[in-house]
């Protein structure tokens, strides 16, 4: 059973476009994290959201945690080629971090 | 300071052989995690070590998988009698303390079983 569903699985856009990636679950998480992973490297933490309804901004990236702490979204404004990578959401579930399958983003110039 | 390191970076082995994968966590981090990442899949939790507590082995897929952490630092993941479905990238992460703290990942070991 996949606890965290990410959509879309793949996204290919032009530089300058906006995009949103979704992370949904039927389970409640105490916190949710977003990671970015580049080929040949491990994931790198972008943000942790803890409070229902929380919104965090990291330059052109906006992260939102759903009111019920079951879902989250990542919005990128004016995407750049450097944003290309695999974006993973992960929910804290006991001692384990449960990962979604990820969204592969490709931004072309 | 040094991040999490893993060795080898790549490992090709024949079906049925045993393999050992090594993880050196960030110094001072008490928590250590192993994950497996298969093509098209997210990260699958395998095992979690926290200090001197008994490890959480709930994610290990079969009894062919085992892991140990010596002296609260270096960890070794062992896969016995490897199968082709074991082919994946094995990632190690460490965090300063227990669950909820930021996890820092190593670059992974890509295991290919032929």
Which pLDDT score is estimated for B99?
64
Q: Is it the case that residue B114 has pLDDT exceeding 80?
A: yes
pLDDT tens-digit map of B51-104: 888 999 999 999 999 999 988 799 999 999 999 999 999 999 999 887 667 889
> From residue B11, how far is each of A3, A16, A61, B8, B113 by CA, in Å?
30, 40, 36, 6, 8
Q: B47: domain range?
A: 5-107
Given a cut of 90, is residue A39 above it in pLDDT? no
B99 touches chain A (CB under 8 A): yes
Q: What is the CATH number of the domain that holds B89?
A: 2.60.40.10
Q: Is the pLDDT of residue A42 over 70?
A: yes
Contact between chains at A99 and B44 (C-beta distance less than 8 A): yes
Q: Is B113 inside a domain boundary?
A: no
Beta bridge partners of B112: B12
Average pLDDT, chain B: 92
Please report whether residue B112 resides in a domain: no
Q: Write out the residues of chain A at the interface with chain B, using a CB-CB cutoff of 8 A.
A: 4, 6, 30-31, 33, 40-45, 48, 88, 90, 92, 94-102
In sign, the C-alpha dihedral spanning B62, B65, B68, B69 is negative
Q: Please count the structural domains in chain B.
A: 1
Nearest to B45 by CA among B28, B29, B27, B65: B65
- Full set of structural domains in chain A with CATH: 5-108 (2.60.40.10)
Residues found in chain A: 109
């Amino acid at each position: 059973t996949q606890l965290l569903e990410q959509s879309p699985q793949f996204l290919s856009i032009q530089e300058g476009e906006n995009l949103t990636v979704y992370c949904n679950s039927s389970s409640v998480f105490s916190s949710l994290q977003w990671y970015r992973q580049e080929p040949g490297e491990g994931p790198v933490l972008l943000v942790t959201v803890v409070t229902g309804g929380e919104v965090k901004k990291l330059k052109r990236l906006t992260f939102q945690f759903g009111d019920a702490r079951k879902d989250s979204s990542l919005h990128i404004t004016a995407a750049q080629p450097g944003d290309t990578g695999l974006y993973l959401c992960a929910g804290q579930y006991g001692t384990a971090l449960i990962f979604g399958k990820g969204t592969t983003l490709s931004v072309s110039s | 300071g040094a991040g999490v390191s893993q060795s080898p970076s790549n490992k090709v082995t024949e079906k049925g052989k045993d393999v050992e994968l090594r993880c050196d966590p960030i110094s001072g981090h008490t928590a250590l995690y192993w994950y497996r990442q298969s093509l098209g899949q997210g990260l699958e939790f395998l095992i979690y070590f926290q200090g001197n507590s008994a490890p959480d082995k709930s994610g290990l897929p079969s009894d062919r998988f085992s892991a140990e952490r010596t002296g609260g630092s270096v960890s070794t993941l062992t896969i016995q009698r490897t199968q082709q479905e074991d082919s994946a990238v094995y990632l190690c992460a460490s965090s300063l303390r227990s669950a909820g703290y930021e996890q820092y990942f190593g670059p992974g070991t890509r295991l290919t079983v032929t």
